[in-house]
Amino acid sequence: MPPIGHYGNDPESCEEYGYGLGAPDGILVLKYRSAGGLAMGEGRQDFLHQIYWSPDGALALMHGSSTLFAGPGEAFWVVRAASHDVHAGDRQTVYRICLRQTPPALKGLRAGPVTIDGEAARLIETIARRGCDEAAALAARHRILAGLGAVPAPESGGPPSPDVRGTGFALAVARALSHDPADPTRLDEWAERLRVSVKTLQRDFVREFGMPYTQWRTRLRLRAARVLLGSHPVTKVAHQVGYASPSAFITAFAKEYGQTPGDYLATTLRGTPERLQA
């Protein structure tokens, strides 16, 4: 297993739940909780595929030279032997599910975000509890794998597709932006891609998220920044989440959270002086 680190005020807790271990259809669920951020240190698992999911907020996956983010209703999938590093923000619960088999829908995907439906997410939480019956857990495993799917990629230059369940245009944009918080696309440009009016898209954001597009995007960027701050310099974080300069990022962060990224690291994540450098 890759090493697990924490960078918060309290060490993380880890609970392990294994069912049918050693068999092809076995499953191991690791449940991590920490007051501070979690850094699942870079490493490889040569025997088991892995799924990372959190009910509490964003996850970031470092794979090769890329940093990827999981969007709403998504998890991360990593095949065996693929080097990777997963980070979570402060006060998050993170589940890591280890398997020997690949869900059919994920064939060919080495590492990246995948969709996870509500029933699969509920079952992960159900089997990560003391006293869960093994037969029930192994049955749940099959449903969890069935609830995973490849994230559909929009056509190059085209609009993202609204959710097939009809959950609206705002969620389609939200998923695309969650994968790349630095995306500079304006509301009117998204509306043009989706072939709806700006007013319709803005109204959909308010209905889905309780706030207009610009405010939602700012909060997304800052939540993503909190995931990265424990292990990246402020300058790099600012660029990765879409700010033109560290000063603009620091101003936005302080306005949202009432403290600068440096103060946040010092009080919440025990940041080192090197990480506070711009």
Q: Where is pLDDT greater, at 239 or 2? A: 239
pLDDT tens-digit readout, 177-197: 988 999 999 999 999 999 999
pLDDT tens-digit readout, 112-125: 999 999 999 999 99
pLDDT tens-digit readout, 8-65: 544 568 899 999 998 999 999 999 987 666 666 556 566 799 999 999 878 898 887 7
Contact 276, 265 (CB under 8 A): yes
Predicted local confidence at residue 87, as pLDDT: 87
Flag the least confident range among 27-31, 172-176, 232-236.
172-176
For 54-117, the three-class secondary structure string (H helix, E strand, C coil) is CCCCCEEEEECCEEEECCCCEEEEECCCCCEEEEECCCCEEEEEEECCCCHHHCCCCEEEEEEC
Domains annotated for the chain, with CATH where assigned, are: 4-150 (2.60.120.10), 215-276 (1.10.10.60)
DSSP 8-state assignment for residue 259:
S
pLDDT tens-digit readout, 216-229: 999 999 999 988 88
Best mean pLDDT range from 72-76, 87-91, 244-248: 244-248
pLDDT tens-digit readout, 238-277: 999 999 999 999 999 999 999 999 998 887 655 433 333 3
* pTM exceeds cut of 0.85: no
Predicted local confidence at residue 269, as pLDDT: 53
Predicted local confidence at residue 88, as pLDDT: 86
